[in-house]
Structure 1
Amino acid sequence: MKNFMLRLLFAVLCLTCSLSFQYCYLITPLDSAEVKHNISYLSSDSFKGRLPGTLENYEVVNFIKNYFQNQHLRPYKGNYLENFNVLYPKRIEGVPYLRVIDKNGFIVRQYKYGADYKEDMLNFKDNKISFKKSDILVERGNNFQIYQNGKYFVFYNPENDNLNFRSSFMANSSQSMYVMVKKQTAQDIKKYVDSGYEVSCFIPIENKLTSVYNIIGYIEGKNTNLPPLVLCAHFDHLGTDLSGKVYSGSLDNASGTSFLLGLVKYINSLGKPDRNIVIVSFNAEEFGCLGSKAFVQKYYNELKGCKVINFDMIGSDKKIPLTIMGSKWDTKKSSLVQEIANLCRKNNVEFKYTFENSSDHEYFRAYAIDAVTLSDEDMSKIHTPEDKNRYISTASISRCFSIVSDEILNYAFSNNFYVLYCRISFILSLLGILIILKLRI
């Protein structure tokens, strides 16, 4: 009887050791160095800032689609691409100018683009304005609003005279055009119009309707009737200015996109999940989260009851807390916010809360779908040409993975014992086998 029990224990330990070894060998944790490599690629000058509506944005769509195919993600509802229409700021022929003109039509002052003034990208319902003192509706310090023919134009002096910041594009803005001017330029303009001169400005950009794409794939689960886990990030950014200066968007949001791609490899290595895991790379987030809006509106019935984790700015090199971002309707007690916070505590990860509708979790929450955005909320270089790959930290990428991997295991793999404890299980079972073999000898 004793020998039988020993042989049975030996067989169980061998099976446990074998299964544990397979999981240890097959599971591929997220490679933060590879994530940084992909960030470098997606934010390279060759993609010119990934502005929706441009050829380079379509090239990134194709790159992500091919990645999904190579990683054996299934096309969602039969297609990797979901198209939707947006207005985008299209560069047109012409040279920008801001000039002062006398009553005879002669140019008395010409300002330098990029040094004295620059477009802000908020809107281009119109791209040309000539105004006099009587056209100024509101004047506050070095900022003024022009009203002409039922349209509004804004000239403003940015903080610290910084002309490099570029706002997101909002086609529904009430203003027809926004122009940033240096403090000295604003003061000059005020003096000129007070003296009866006319100021004329032209920005060769116009609003244009086009189709853009989200990229959607999924990993099929054992029970496809369960609400899915949705993992997502936006890949678009702000393009280039009129001098060709590239807004690379490494942290915002080549980082979130690359993190998402890295997660695909990890999830695939875990085996078949209990429920579907939907992987979405959103477009036009910089236009007001239009990609996630289109996705939620189209697939709401399939998304009811699901959980959504969005990644926006993962990998800041500054020692700042990980941000759990909920919507303006959320609190610290919202279920998914609380769940992620508990995982941060468990992993000794410093974190903070933000409740804003400023990323792709917004429209999920508007439709009462549990969603959070995880972010390294470092705003020091965001929406400027300085958002470069050299400032990305692999340590911050790994930090986020420690939280997300736990949530994936909890929700999509029911805390699978072998996945969670494969290394411990392998070591203990191997020790047991060696002990039994020694006893038998």
Structure 2
Amino acid sequence: MKNFILHLLLTVSCLICSLSFQYCYFITPLNSNEVKDNISYLSSDSFKGRLAGTLENYEAVNFIKNYFESQHLTPYKSNYLEGFNVLYPRRIAGTPYLRVLDKNGFIIKQYNYGVDYKEDMLNFKDNNISFKKADILMERGNNFQIHKDNKYFIFYNPEDDNLNFRSSFIANSSQNMYIMIKRQTAQDIKKYVDSGCEISCFIPFENKSTSIYNIIGYIKGKKPNLPPLVLSAHFDHLGTDLSGKVYSGSLDNASGTSFLLGLVKYINSLGRPDRNIIIASFNAEEFGCLGSKEFVQKYSNDLKGSKVINFDMIGSNKKIPLTIMGGKWDTKNSNFINEIANLCRKNKVDFKYTFENCSDHEYFRTYNIDAVTLSDEDMSKIHTPEDKDRYINTQSIDRCFNIVSKEIKNYAFKDNFYVLYCRNLFILSLISLLIISKLCISRSF
């Protein structure tokens, strides 16, 4: 009888060991090197900074859509592409200039684009301005606000005379145009307008209406009536300046997009989830999170009770803590924030909190939907031409995956015993197998 029980236990242990090993073997963890390859591709010069409204932004849409298809994601609401209208800064014909004209209208000084001045991308309700001293509404240090024809223009001197920073485009800004100027340029302008000269500036961009796209797919769950898990990232960036310098946006946010794509392979390898998992690649985040706003407003009823994890800047120096970013009115005691923080503590991941409405979690929180943005918040190169793929750190990508993969399993696979415990089952069954085998051998002698 004892031999029978031992052999039965041996058979069961073999079966569990075999099944759990096979399940573990076929799970495909996120490949951080593959993620980095996709970052390099999306942030290459061929995409010219992926500015919403440009041809290159549409090419990025097509790349992501094709990836969704290759991974057999189901189109959300029967279509991967979710279109919406935006204003965007369109490049037009012409050469930029900032010049000084004397009282007779003759050009007496011409400044060099990119050296003495440069556009900031905040708005182009107007793209030209000529002003004299009487038109200066406000002057603070090396910064000027111009008020002319009931329109407002800003000329400002950026920190450290750095003309490389490029702001997000905000179509509803109260100012008609923003120009960055060097300290010396500002001081020159003061002297020239004091002597009665006129300053004239032209920047060949204009605000233009166009249609752009989010790309939305999902993985079908066993219980589609449950609130979904939403995983998201924005793919747009800031385009190029007028000299052709590319704002590549490797960390911001080719990294989050590529991380999101890598997660799709991982989730598919786990099998069918308990609930739907929506994979959302948002556009126009750099225009004020307009893509996620469009999505949330359109599908808010379908998203009630869901959880949202957004990825924005994944892969900077690992010495920088992982940031758990909540909405403006969240605190570290907010349920979902605390849940992610506890995962970080349990897995010994250094982290910090930020509570700002400055990424695609914003409009989910506006609708009281649990949402966080995970970010490696390294701002040293963000929105400059220096945000390149050579600075991407795969260790930080792995660190984020370590946390996110556990949250995905806990929330979307909690009824799947094998997903949650396959490694534990394999180890325990292997140990049992060795012990029972040893007992069987000892009894045979």
Q: Distance in 1 between matches of 2:310 and 2:318?
A: 21
Are 2:326 and 2:354, in contact at CA under 8 Å, matched by a contact in 1?
yes
* Structure 2 counterparts to residues 283-298 of structure 1, below 5 A: 283-298=283-298
Q: Distance in 2 between matches of 1:3 and 1:173?
A: 81
Can you give the 5+ residue segments of structure 1 that lack an aligned partner in the other structure? none
1:437 Cα shift? 4.2
Residue 409 of structure 1 aligns with which residue? 409
Are 1:86 and 1:212, in contact at CA under 8 Å, matched by a contact in 2?
yes
Which deviations, in whole Å up to 9, do the C-alpha atoms of 1:38-78 show, x marking residues without a partner? Answer: 11110000000000000000000000000001001100010
Residue 168 of structure 1 aligns with which residue? 168
Q: Distance in 2 between matches of 1:163 and 1:149?
A: 28
Q: Distance in 2 between matches of 1:378 and 1:236?
A: 18
Residue 241 of structure 1 aligns with which residue? 241
Q: Distance in 1 between matches of 2:434 and 2:312?
A: 48
Can you give the 5+ residue segments of structure 2 that lack an aligned partner in the other structure? none
* Structure 2 counterparts to residues 385-424 of structure 1, below 5 A: 385-414=385-414, 416-424=416-424
Are 2:318 and 2:395, in contact at CA under 8 Å, matched by a contact in 1?
no
Q: Distance in 1 between matches of 2:344 and 2:417?
A: 21
Residue 278 of structure 1 aligns with which residue? 278
Residue 189 of structure 1 aligns with which residue? 189
Are 2:414 and 2:420, in contact at CA under 8 Å, matched by a contact in 1?
no
Q: Distance in 2 between matches of 1:373 and 1:423?
A: 29
Residue 299 of structure 2 aligns with which residue? 299
Which deviations, in whole Å up to 9, do the C-alpha atoms of 1:322-368 show, x marking residues without a partner? Answer: 10000111011111100000000000001110000000000000000
Which deviations, in whole Å up to 9, do the C-alpha atoms of 1:144-167 show, x marking residues without a partner? Answer: 001011100000000000000000
Q: Distance in 1 between matches of 2:417 and 2:129?
A: 67
1:24 Cα shift? 1.4
Residue 264 of structure 2 aligns with which residue? 264
Q: Which amino acid aligns with 1:233?
A: A
1:2 Cα shift? 2.3
Task: State the SS of the aligned residue for 2:134.
Answer: helix
* Structure 2 counterparts to residues 196-207 of structure 1, below 5 A: 196-207=196-207
Which deviations, in whole Å up to 9, do the C-alpha atoms of 1:103-133 show, x marking residues without a partner? Answer: 2221000000000000000000000000001
Q: Distance in 2 between matches of 1:162 and 1:345?
A: 39
Are 1:87 and 1:207, in contact at CA under 8 Å, matched by a contact in 2?
yes
Are 1:19 and 1:418, in contact at CA under 8 Å, matched by a contact in 2?
no
1:19 Cα shift? 1.6
Task: State the SS of the aligned residue for 1:63.
Answer: helix
Task: State the SS of the aligned residue for 1:301.
Answer: coil
**TM-score, with normalisation over the residues of structure 1?**
0.98
Are 2:336 and 2:371, in contact at CA under 8 Å, matched by a contact in 1?
yes
Deviates most, 377-386 or 15-24 = 15-24
Task: State the SS of the aligned residue for 1:209.
Answer: strand
Residue 212 of structure 2 aligns with which residue? 212
Q: Distance in 1 between matches of 2:85 and 2:8?
A: 64
1:22 Cα shift? 1.4
Task: State the SS of the aligned residue for 2:301.
Answer: helix
Task: State the SS of the aligned residue for 1:238.
Answer: coil
Alignment of 1:365 onto 2:365: yes
**TM-score, with normalisation over the residues of structure 2?**
0.97
Percent of pairs identical after alignment? 81
Residue 428 of structure 1 aligns with which residue? 428
* Structure 2 counterparts to residues 18-97 of structure 1, below 5 A: 18-97=18-97
Q: Which amino acid aligns with 1:374?
A: L
Deviates most, 314-323 or 235-244 = 314-323
Q: Distance in 1 between matches of 2:374 and 2:233?
A: 10
Q: Distance in 2 between matches of 1:419 and 1:31?
A: 19
Q: Distance in 1 between matches of 2:430 and 2:359?
A: 48
Q: Distance in 2 between matches of 1:190 and 1:324?
A: 45
Which deviations, in whole Å up to 9, do the C-alpha atoms of 1:364-411 show, x marking residues without a partner? Answer: 000000000000110000000000001110010011011101100110
Are 1:50 and 1:239, in contact at CA under 8 Å, matched by a contact in 2?
yes
1:321 Cα shift? 0.7
1:13 Cα shift? 1.2
Are 2:114 and 2:163, in contact at CA under 8 Å, matched by a contact in 1?
yes
Q: Distance in 1 between matches of 2:403 and 2:220?
A: 23
1:102 Cα shift? 1.1
1:423 Cα shift? 3.0
